[in-house]
Structure 1
């Protein structure tokens, strides 16, 4: 399968994904936080579960408490990029870097996500998703004090390089990785896993200053957990407050 590393889209295809509108910004405008939302669409995530994930992110970014957390920052704006990923061969920028500083910004972002087509592929490469997210952060159009990758998934790394190596590269670059492990009933299609997924994320995936995870019991509870996680990430609250 052709590798879909779409870094050019991070800066050049934003207008198409947002219906012709470039992310609103003046040259050099900073943001409080650069946040990559990296979302698992491997084959263990069926169509209904994929819909629940996207609806969770749409609801989360437009939630009044999340918007209040954004407004409460020193600048009152964050930059968000939405990525879907599966195996080592597939990472796709679904909604490019968007500056969110108001409800209107958040609603436009949520609408863009709702319009975007969805793809699903086989394996699970958290390592490739982290490397791709780091490249997006390097290409972001704004400066920020904090840079975070928010990675959700329902399985362990089974494609591409070891996830610990990718995590360590990100942390060395000053990036924080937070986790949203989804304790799905069939993440590995019957294959035995070495440890519970939340423990795996804690030991092998998350890292960096203030890193934390919130475990999700199933896809039905995804939106509630995500909302809590976004508030903690955007407000920059201590990791202990979000430990799950």
Structure 2
């Protein structure tokens, strides 16, 4: 994704981007708002209100014609949708989940961060001698990973599910994390959020926040420090692999507990996976 200024852009939903896309297809004509609403499966009101907002920022004229600014904005939105979809495909997200995960990212993540994410694979040095196989962590850290800060997508799976079933712990973190690699060390930093789940025993609603996280390193469990709503796991504890598409995937077994009032959810052992 090309570097560009996105500070002045509206941040529409994926459905609202579709309104603009449909308008660009049919052009200015009588009844265009109603036609777009019918095509997108919504009532007339949401389309009309959004187009008025677009008029206010200079995307559309009062006759629903695109201005130069509006045409450029739509191209940027469409490029973001495409690049995020390709990024999710590269990191191994199942095809049936890509549309929904694209919507979540596009609607909830700053555009500049999305651009950084989709360019992440370019931050990894190419090596002709690297094969599609598991790499030693020490080699990866010393010879492949650049210095700096890199945003990564994460998912937490049930151990033994072969990467197909998400763990309850997946709800306890933002799904964008970052890798930091500098002279002071290297680690992956996760952002904690409220966890929401239902009891497997009686179906009761359970809410809470992470109270502890342990990571496995060479068969031993170590407790990670939690500070200011973030938790760090050293990259030396992680195992790295090259995917068949040439991207880097990292993983580390973790065990988490979550506080719910004065109680605690049972320890949940899972596999944290992240993609670059």
Task: Give the TM-score taking structure 1 as reference length.
Answer: 0.26
Task: Give the TM-score taking structure 2 as reference length.
Answer: 0.24
Larger Rg: 2
Greater RCO, 1 or 2 (C-alpha within 8 Å, sep 6+): 1
Higher strand proportion, which one? Answer: 2
